[in-house]
């Protein structure tokens, strides 16, 4: 007798997203698990479209769990640079080392969840996709899909458990991986947060939220706390075409990534004054502000930064004080040789605007206190 979720698997068979980590799963279970692990950690808090290029490049650099385990963390962060949540890269690296030391991949979700960086979702995803274990993998998509199917708004904490129980009771024992991925794909492409496309949904007939006309308002959205805007300054110190970039110390924001040095602007201070002070206190270097190159904004989870970029002139050799390491690199080199954060990239782009960027109006916004045209290296 057909189960109520058969239409879902039928839909998935024809409408599954084509994603690199789904192509040609290797017959070696450990290699299969490794690829799944990399993709699932990258997919935490990150959309599939964004992950694709990172995943492909990452596997070219680290084709096996051994390659990743033996690599220095700096190489791993370089491949991760721009993807965000850099703690994930450290955890993934540590997980690879744990698996490598162990000699074989943990085969069950109950064991996988003890690897660094793997929680209930990721452990369930790897176990079901790579090993076929019949366990739930409840991410934000699945949570939303099940909430609508059942017409129940999941509570913030206990809600996940109920969704997991629902999935567990319906998961086909021999199709666990496809079932979990089908739920996720449905949430990503059809059962989307706002204005779900119920006309395209294979489960619309059994959807209770749909029956009650509340599909657009379930699950309820959490109230978000506004993110404070912090004023900061970044310093461009160029010597013969090479720009000072520093490694941001951890733990904390952007730990382990690189970029031109930056710091807060104290109330009442100007970006130029703070830039000079930053070089003096952070690197023991006397400098003078030459020009303001622009202002870049960057949003984190709990705060936003407005970073004024100031080019300075200085002589002599810096000494790293508050920062762990520094180098002088041309912007192109910085992109290739260190883990340049997205913020660091934006700051460097005030110096060398992209040639293929749209017109001047769509680019850098000099904003409120007046900016200037981008400068050139001397």
Q: Shortest approach of DNA to residue 340 CB, angstroms?
A: 9
Q: How far is CA 272 from the centre of its chain?
A: 32
* Residue 40 a catalytic site member: yes
* Smaller CB separation from DNA, 128 or 341: 341
* Smaller CB separation from DNA, 29 or 87: 87
Q: Which helix (H) or strand (E) holds 74?
A: helix 73-80
Q: Shortest approach of DNA to residue 234 CB, angstroms?
A: 13
Bridge partners of residue 239, in order along the sequence: 242
* Smaller CB separation from DNA, 180 or 287: 180
Peptide bond into 38 cis (omega under 30): no
Catalytic residue among 40, 215, 247, 274: 40
Q: Which helix (H) or strand (E) holds 48?
A: helix 48-61
| CA distances in angstroms from 110 to 113, 118, 127, 140, 181, listed in the order given | 6, 11, 9, 21, 19
Give CA–CA dist 95/73, Å, rounded.
12
Q: Shortest approach of DNA to residue 46 CB, angstroms?
A: 4
Q: Shortest approach of DNA to residue 83 CB, angstroms?
A: 6
Residues 6+ apart with CB under 8 A from 146: 138, 154, 163, 166, 167, 183
* Smaller CB separation from DNA, 140 or 151: 140
Give CA–CA dist 121/184, Å, rounded.
12
Bridge partners of residue 305, in order along the sequence: 230, 298
Tokens (6 digits) for 281: 């206190």
Residue 191 and residue 149 in contact, taking contact as beta carbons nearer than 8 Å:
no
Binding residues vs DNA (CB under 7 A): 43-47, 49-50, 81-87, 91, 116-123, 139-141, 143-144, 156-157, 187, 193-195, 221-222, 224, 251-255, 257, 297-302, 341-343, 365, 367
Q: Shortest approach of DNA to residue 85 CB, angstroms?
A: 5
* Smaller CB separation from DNA, 219 or 282: 219
Residues belonging to the active site: 40
């Amino acid at each position: 007798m057909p189960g109520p979720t058969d239409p879902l698997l039928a839909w998935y068979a024809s409408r599954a997203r084509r994603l690199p980590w789904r192509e040609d799963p290797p017959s070696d279970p450990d290699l299969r698990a490794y690829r799944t692990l990399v993709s699932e950690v990258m997919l935490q808090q990150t959309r599939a479209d964004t992950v694709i290029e990172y995943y492909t490049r990452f596997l070219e650099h680290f084709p096996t769990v051994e390659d990743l385990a033996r690599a220095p963390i700096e190489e791993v962060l370089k491949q991760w640079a721009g993807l965000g949540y850099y703690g994930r890269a450290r955890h993934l690296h540590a997980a690879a080392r744990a698996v490598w030391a162990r000699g074989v991949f943990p085969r069950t979700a109950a064991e996988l969840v003890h690897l660094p960086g793997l929680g209930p979702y990721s452990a369930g995803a790897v176990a079901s996709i790579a090993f076929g274990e019949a366990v739930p993998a409840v991410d934000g998509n699945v949570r939303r899909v099940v909430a609508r199917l059942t017409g129940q708004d999941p509570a913030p904490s206990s809600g996940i458990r109920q969704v997991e129980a629902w999935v567990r009771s319906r998961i086909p024992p021999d199709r666990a991986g496809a079932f979990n991925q089908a739920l996720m794909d449905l949430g990503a492409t059809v059962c989307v947060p706002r204005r779900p496309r119920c006309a395209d949904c294979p489960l619309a007939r059994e959807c209770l939220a749909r029956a009650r006309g509340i599909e657009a308002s379930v699950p309820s959205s959490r109230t978000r706390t506004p993110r404070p805007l912090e004023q900061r300054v970044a310093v461009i110190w160029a010597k013969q075409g090479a720009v000072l970039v520093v490694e941001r110390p951890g733990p904390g924001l952007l730990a382990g990534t690189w970029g031109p040095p930056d710091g807060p602007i104290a109330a009442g201070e100007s970006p130029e004054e703070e830039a000079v002070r930053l070089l003096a206190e952070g690197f023991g270097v006397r400098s003078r502000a030459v020009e303001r190159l622009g202002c870049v904004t960057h949003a984190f989870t709990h705060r936003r930064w407005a970073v004024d970029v100031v080019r300075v002139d200085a002589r002599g050799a810096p000494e790293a004080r508050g920062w762990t390491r520094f180098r002088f690199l041309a912007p192109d080199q910085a992109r290739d040789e260190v883990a340049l954060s997205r913020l660091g990239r934006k700051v460097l782009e005030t110096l060398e605007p992209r040639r293929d960027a749209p017109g001047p109006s769509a680019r850098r916004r000099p904003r409120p206190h007046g900016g200037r045209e981008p400068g050139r290296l001397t």
